[in-house]
C-alpha cells in the first residue's frame, strides 16, 4: 500500500512561485472531514468534546477550523493558554493539563476559567496557595503504574512515567478537593502513545470507567467527565491500516454501557485530547532536492533540515517520502535524505528505497501535521519555515510566515553595543 500525498506536483510548482520551499502544508479538506468523523464517532455521548492538543499544531488558523466543530483546546503552558484565549475559546473549551507547573500558569488558567487537570497530589495545596481557592470543577490525572499492554503487542510503561497520581493518591485527592470546595470532578489518563489499533481507547476507557465507579463509591464526589487523553495514533509506515474512529467510538460506547450505566453514571461526558490523530496525516513538509553526494553511501540533500522536522533525527521516526511526479516510478535507488545541520542525525530517511532523484525534484515528507512544525528549533541559526493551508477550493493561504534573520536576532536588542547587519 502506498501513501498518496494530498498535493500534486503541479500544485507545488504553482505554490513555490509565491512561497519558496521548504514549507509545511496542511490540508483543510482532510482536517474538516476528520473532525466530522470524530464528532460522529462519539455522538452517542451528549457531553462529548475533543480538546485538541495544542502542542501538536499551535496555529490559530488550525484551531479556528476545529472550533467550528465545537472542539476545545488542551493546553500545557502559559503561551498555549494565551493562544486559546486569542482564538476565542472560553474556559469550558480549555483544558489545562500541565506538570511541574509554575504558579503563574495555574493563576492564568484560573483567570480564563479553564478546566485545571492536576498532575500531582502535592499540587492541591500549591494550587490553593496560588489562586486562593479550589475551582468548583477540577480534574486529576491518574497513573496506574506497571505496564500497559494490548493484545496486539503494543506496550507502554506508565510506571516509568512522570505523570499522574496513584489510585490511593487519587482517592485521597478527591476527598480533600471536595472538602476544599470542589463540586464537579473529572479523571484523566494517558497510558500509551501513538497506538495504531482500535483496541486502545476502549481498553483505557474500561479501566477508567471502573476507576470512577470506585471513586464515586469511596468519595461521593460528583464525577462529570472522563478524559481519555490522546494516544490514538496514525500509520506512519504505508504497511499499516489506519485507526477507524467509528469502531473506536463504538468500543468506548460498549464499555460505557457495560460499566457506567449500571452504576448510575450514564450522564458522564467523554472527553478526548487527540493531536496526532486529528492533524498528523493532514500536514506534510515540502522540500526540494538541492544536492547529491556519492561517497560510501548515496545522499540526497534537501533544503529542509531537522530544524523543520526533528522527529527522524531525535527518535529515528519514520516519515514516508514521495518524490512528486515520480509516484509510479520504480523505487530502485537507495538514499539517505539529509538536511544541512552540523549533526549526522539530520536525516529524514536512511537507506530509503526511492525513485531516482534529480536536482530540483520536490519531495513530500508525509504525516507532519502534528509534532512537525511545532517541534522546530533554531540550531545552526536555521530558520523555521512558513506554514501554508491548502484550502478546500484549491487556493493556498499562508497561516504563518517563514522566520527571517531579523526574527532570529530580535532578542539581542537589549544590547546597545551590538547590532547585527547583513
Alpha-carbon span 369 to 283, nearest angstrom: 4
Q: Residues 71, 53: contact at Cβ < 8 Å?
A: no
Parallel/antiparallel/unpaired status of strands 333-338 and 347-354: antiparallel
As given in the structure block, the three cell numbers for residue 373 are 512544525
* 342 belongs to the catalytic site: yes
Location of C-alpha cell 521548504: 22
DSSP string, 343-407: STT-EEEEEEEE----TT-EEEE---TTTTGGG---GGG----EEEEE-TTS-EEEEEPPP-HHH
Q: How many Cα atoms occupy the beta-carbon half-sphere of 343 within 13 Å?
A: 15
Q: Three-state DSSP class for 290? A: strand
As given in the structure block, the three cell numbers for residue 19 are 512561497
Q: What single-letter DSSP state applies at residue 60?
A: H
Measured CA angle at 325 (ends 321, 327), to 5 deg: 55
Q: What are the CA-CA distances from residue 376 to residues 221, 304, 308, 310, 381 (Å)?
A: 42, 11, 5, 7, 12
The one catalytic residue in 73, 75, 284, 342 is 342
Report the catalytic residues: 342
Amino acid at each position: 500500500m502506498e501513501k498518496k500525498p494530498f498535493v500534486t506536483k503541479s500544485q507545488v510548482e504553482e505554490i513555490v512561485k509565491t512561497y519558496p520551499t521548504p514549507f509545511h502544508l496542511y490540508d483543510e479538506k482532510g482536517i474538516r472531514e476528520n473532525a466530522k468523523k470524530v464528532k460522529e464517532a462519539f455522538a452517542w455521548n451528549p457531553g462529548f468534546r475533543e480538546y485538541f492538543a495544542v502542542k501538536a499544531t499551535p496555529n490559530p488558523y488550525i484551531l479556528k477550523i476545529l472550533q467550528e466543530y465545537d472542539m476545545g483546546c488542551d493546553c500545557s503552558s502559559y503561551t498555549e493558554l494565551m493562544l486559546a484565549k486569542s482564538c476565542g475559546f472560553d474556559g469550558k473549551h480549555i483544558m489545562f493539563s500541565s506538570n511541574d507547573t509554575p504558579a503563574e500558569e495555574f493563576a492564568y488558567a484560573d483567570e480564563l476559567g479553564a478546566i485545571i487537570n492536576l498532575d500531582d497530589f502535592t499540587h492541591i495545596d500549591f494550587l490553593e496557595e496560588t489562586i486562593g481557592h479550589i475551582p468548583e470543577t477540577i480534574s486529576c490525572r491518574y497513573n496506574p503504574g506497571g505496564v500497559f499492554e494490548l493484545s496486539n503487542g503494543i506496550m507502554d510503561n506508565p510506571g516509568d512515567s512522570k505523570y499522574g497520581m496513584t489510585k490511593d493518591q487519587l482517592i485521597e485527592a478527591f476527598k480533600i478537593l471536595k472538602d476544599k470546595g470542589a463540586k464537579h470532578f473529572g479523571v484523566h489518563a494517558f497510558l500509551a502513545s501513538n497506538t495504531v489499533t482500535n483496541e486502545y481507547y476502549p481498553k483505557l476507557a474500561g479501566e477508567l470507567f471502573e476507576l470512577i465507579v470506585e471513586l464515586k463509591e469511596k468519595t461521593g464526589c460528583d464525577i462529570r467527565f472522563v478524559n481519555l487523553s490522546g494516544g490514538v495514533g496514525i500509520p506512519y509506515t504505508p504497511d499499516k491500516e489506519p485507526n477507524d474512529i467509528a469502531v473506536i467510538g463504538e468500543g468506548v460506547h460498549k464499555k460505557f454501557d457495560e460499566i457506567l450505566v449500571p452504576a448510575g453514571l450514564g450522564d458522564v461526558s467523554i472527553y478526548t485530547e487527540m493531536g496526532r490523530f486529528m492533524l498528523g496525516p493532514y500536514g506534510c513538509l515540502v522540500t526540494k532536492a538541492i544536492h547529491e553526494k556519492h561517497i560510501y553511501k548515496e545522499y540526497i540533500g534537501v533544503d529542509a533540515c531537522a530544524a523543520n522536522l526533528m522527529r527522524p533525527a531525535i527518535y529515528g521516526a519514520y516519515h514516508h517520502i514521495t518524490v512528486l511526479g515520480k509516484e509510479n516510478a520504480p523505487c530502485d535507488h537507495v538514499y539517505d535524505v539529509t538536511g544541512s545541520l552540523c549533526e549526522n542525525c539530520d536525516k529524514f530517511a536512511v537507506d530509503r528505497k526511492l525513485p531516482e532523484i534529480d536536482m530540483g525534484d520536490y519531495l513530500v515528507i508525509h504525516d507532519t501535521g502534528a509534532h512537525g512544525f511545532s517541534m522546530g528549533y533554531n540550531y545552526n541559526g536555521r530558520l523555521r519555515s512558513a506554514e501554508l493551508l491548502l484550502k478546500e477550493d484549491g487556493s493556498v493561504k499562508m497561516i504563518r510566515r517563514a522566520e527571517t534573520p531579523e526574527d532570529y536576532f530580535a532578542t539581542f536588542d537589549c544590547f546597545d553595543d551590538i547590532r547585527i547587519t547583513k
